[in-house]
Amino acid sequence: MMDGDSELIMQTERMDDNKAAAVYKHRLLVDNDYAKQELEKAQTEWETVNSTRSDTNVNSWPGNTEIITIDDVISHFKSADMSIYMANIVPVIERSKLASLFRLIWGPPVLDSSLDDERKLVFAIASCPFHNEEIVHLRVLQSIYKLLTNNQNDCPRYGSHWEQIGFQGNDPSTDLRGVGFLGLLHLLYIVMNPQTLSLARDILQLSRDEKQNFPFAVMGINLTRIVLQALREERLNKECNRKKNVILVVNEFYVGIFLHLYNIWSKNNVTIESSGFILKDVESTVKKRPKVLLRNLEDYINTKNKLETNSSKLNPAQTTQETRIFSDIESELRFVDDEIT
């Protein structure tokens, strides 16, 4: 008969034998070559993940990214799951019963029901923050910088170079509060069209003036806020219905406001100290006469096109004369601005 200690030792030895047998059996069931292949595959996938993270999260960007178009960006958002942002949007201001009655009688027309989803998308984009993980977001930033500065190479995600185009610090995404990604979409729109690109560069040049300087990109973001409020107040419904397009009207309205602001700023020698008052006045003005504002922009672009077409056919003396004519037309456009002020 065994004592308790001896029995415990034997039980432990049997457990160890069973454990060893189980381990041995497990090893027999494993294909070592297959396991090695799977390990190498996993390591490769992890390295790919790390590489992707490096491209999107660290302060670098590879080489020469292709300029992204507005259509590509809009398609991205139309195909993306925007439900989380749609849930919190307010596409139309809430009105009292009396205000609703006045709006029904004297207010703007109701937006065509076929355009309702597009209006919601605009507000959803304005609720969407910048994501470093989204390649489309990064390409938009790169495109804005390249087109404004006429730079062919990619720039770092973070750095003081963003201040050169009017962001407030090293990270443009921190300036988008209140307008979300729509602020960048609008900046992209104004630099994508060759005619409005020249306008954007003129405004950027004015923003760097020793006395009249202002942060270009941040000013544009403030104008996006005005656009959103005008859309929410249904001030753009008539133009949206006429063109059967909300996004196009919203983008053109944005550029029209920038043109209007540029004319006021340059003509009246405005400085940053009075920007708050000027922006408030601009907002009041453009909300009242969106059609005039858009016509102003259309005339500006048509005149630019005409000048560029004629300049290629004229000698230097005639080109100078055409430039004077364009300056006169610009004065007329500013007069239209004065009319709607």
Report if residue 281 sits inside a domain.
yes
- Give the per-residue pLDDT at 93: 76
pTM for the model stands at 0.75
Domain interval for residue 219 = 70-307
Residues in Cβ contact with 132 at an 8 Å cutoff, skipping those fewer than 6 apart: 56, 57, 138, 157
Report if residue 316 sits inside a domain.
no
Average pLDDT over residues 163-182: 96
Report if residue 147 sits inside a domain.
yes
| pLDDT above 70: percentage of residues in the chain | 69
Q: Are 137 and 77 in contact (CB under 8 A)?
A: no
Which amino acid is located at 177 in the chain? R
Average pLDDT over residues 214-238: 97
- Give the per-residue pLDDT at 129: 96
Average pLDDT over residues 142-146: 97
Token pair for 54: 């490096």
Token pair for 234: 């249904």
Residue 138 has pLDDT above 50, yes or no: yes
Report if residue 49 sits inside a domain.
no
Q: Is 170 helix (H, G, I), strand (E, B) or coil?
A: coil
Report if residue 138 sits inside a domain.
yes
- Give the per-residue pLDDT at 286: 96
- Give the per-residue pLDDT at 314: 56
pLDDT of 76-133, one tens digit each?
999 999 999 999 899 987 766 665 666 666 668 999 999 999 999 999 999 999 999 9
Average pLDDT over residues 41-66: 49
The residue with tokens 């005039």 is 292
Report if residue 168 sits inside a domain.
yes
Residue from 120, 218, 212 nearest 173 by CA: 218
- Give the per-residue pLDDT at 97: 62
Q: Are 119 and 111 in contact (CB under 8 A)?
A: yes
Instruction: State the Cα–Cα distance between residues 250 and 254, nearest whole angstrom.
Output: 6
Q: Provide the number of structural domains found in the chain.
A: 1
- Please, which pLDDT band fits residue 54 given cuts at 50, 70 and 90? very low
Report if residue 52 sits inside a domain.
no
- Give the per-residue pLDDT at 95: 65
Average pLDDT over residues 240-255: 97
Report if residue 322 sits inside a domain.
no
Residue 255 has pLDDT above 80, yes or no: yes
Instruction: Give me the chain's average pLDDT, please.
Output: 80
- Give the per-residue pLDDT at 58: 42
Residue 149 has pLDDT above 70, yes or no: yes
- Give the per-residue pLDDT at 224: 98
DSSP structure string for 87-125: TT---S----HHHHHHHHHHSPPPPPGGGHHHHHHHHHH
Residue from 339, 338, 335 nearest 327 by CA: 335
pLDDT of 281-339, one tens digit each?
999 999 999 999 999 999 999 988 888 777 666 555 554 444 444 444 444 444 344 44
Q: Are 139 and 68 in contact (CB under 8 A)?
A: yes
Average pLDDT over residues 237-246: 97
Token pair for 189: 């729109």
